[in-house]
Amino acid sequence: MNGFKDKLINFFRQRYGIDELYKFLLTMFIIIWVLNIFIRSTILYWLNLLICFFIIYRMFSKNVYKRQKENIKFLRIKDKLKGKVKLSRRKWKDRKTHIYRKCPNCKAEVRLPKKKGKHVCTCPNCKKDFNVKC
């Protein structure tokens, strides 16, 4: 059978399809679209059109390797942001009992019990001592 259905299946077989970046872009598209019902901004309208084109372009792209690379890049940024949000949440949660300092040697964020005055701390990451003032 060499009908329209086969042609359609063949067309979609070699295309990239959807991924995490697609889901994010679609969410952004919907948010901006709803927002723009109230705001009616020309810039948002064009931005959304651009996102829409990008979504369609990525979905039907045959360059799977490049699209996967884009997705990996996106996931890396997402994970970084997620980690930052998590850390600032934790900082806020124990702001009365702990302080957070960056180790001057390895730049790692160190969580320390809140004690008044000057102290010497040992970084758990690189095992070097550094001074802390609270």
Degrees (nearest 5) of the Cα angle 22, 69, 28?
25
Q: Decide if 91 contacts 100 (C-beta within 8 A).
A: yes
Q: Is 21 in the site for Zn ion (CB under 5 A)?
A: no
Rounded to a whole number of angstroms, the minimum distance from the CB of residue 98 to Zn ion is: 17
Q: Is 126 in the site for Zn ion (CB under 5 A)?
A: yes
Q: Which residue among 103, 111, 121, 132 contacts Zn ion (CB under 5 A)? A: 103
Q: Is 14 in the site for Zn ion (CB under 5 A)?
A: no
Q: Decide if 31 contacts 44 (C-beta within 8 A).
A: no
Rounded to a whole number of angstroms, the minimum distance from the CB of residue 80 to Zn ion is: 20
Residue 35 phi, psi dihedral angles, 5° rounding: -60, -40
**Which residues make up the interface to Zn ion (CB under 5 A)?**
103, 105-106, 108, 123, 125-126
